Amino acid sequence: MNKSAQRFNQIADNFLKSEVHKASPSIDQLKKLLGDVRDKAICDVACGSGHLGLALAPHSLTSVDPSESMLANVEKLAATKGKSVKTVCAYAEDLPFESEQFDIVVTRLAAHHFTDIAVAIKEMKRVTKKGGTIAIIDLEGYEDKQVDQFNHELELLHDETHIKSYSYQEWLGLLTYAGLTIVEGFSDLSEKPGGISIKRWCEIASSGWEAEREIRAKLEQAPAHFLKTMGIEKREDDFYIPVRTAMFLLTK
């Protein structure tokens, strides 16, 4: 079990209850893009608490995550919704399924933790049926290298297992290299319109007081154009971040 899986075993309940993870405009948008999926076999990769897969409500749902605690919460959540789900403990880079097993493969707010993003994309493509759909929603980095580095420093303080938030152009390169057809691509989305406070953001991730304090200090000292580019606002006694994401709808 890698460090990320160990960490998420400890904080799984936070993500089950997290307002950022439970619902978002990107989930609603993806549901509209996919249309009726009731007769589809869907695989939710690095599913966390399972909010995305269960929101799609397919006839057949397989939820995959390396954290046993996350998977236990997927089963709890499914039970409250009267849904059935198969849970599988595995990493995105090594999916234990036959090739071309699923109609649709999805992943949300997880790819920034993948240890080998190219291999993970290759695996998601492998288990998708020919002509099937892959949907990816994840934190989005920045084309401006200075802003991107600043964002990376904040993300590492927030979650030490964070690896990289890929920019929109980096995603295009990765997906094109994997041989996937990009049907739709969306940049600069927000998982929490109006923003989420640094306090709450750090509570969800159990970042700790020292990390929370350092994040605020960095934001206080940051150039104004950094905050404007990142959509971060200071209101009353805290900063609010939009949880910026990109979304891609792809076909194999």
Question: Tens digits of per-residue pLDDT, 131-173?
Answer: 999 999 999 999 999 999 999 999 999 999 999 999 999 999 9
Q: Is 60 helix (H, G, I), strand (E, B) or coil?
A: strand
In terms of Cα–Cα distance, which of 128, 125, 42 is closest to 85? 42
**CA-to-CA distance for 103 and 95, rounded, in angstroms?**
15
Residue 199 pLDDT > 70: yes
**CATH number of 3-142+161-192+243-251, picked from 1.10.1060.10, 3.40.630.30, 3.30.70.2740, 3.40.50.150:** 3.40.50.150
Residue 178 pLDDT > 90: yes
Residue 107 pLDDT > 80: yes
Residue 12 pLDDT > 80: no
- CA 54 to centroid of chain Cα atoms: 15
In terms of Cα–Cα distance, which of 60, 62, 73, 64 is closest to 45? 64
- CA 46 to centroid of chain Cα atoms: 8
Residue 1: other Cβ atoms inside 10 A: 12
In terms of Cα–Cα distance, which of 207, 204, 122 is closest to 161? 207
- How confident is the prediction for the chain on average, in pLDDT? 95
What percent of the chain shows pLDDT beyond 70?
98
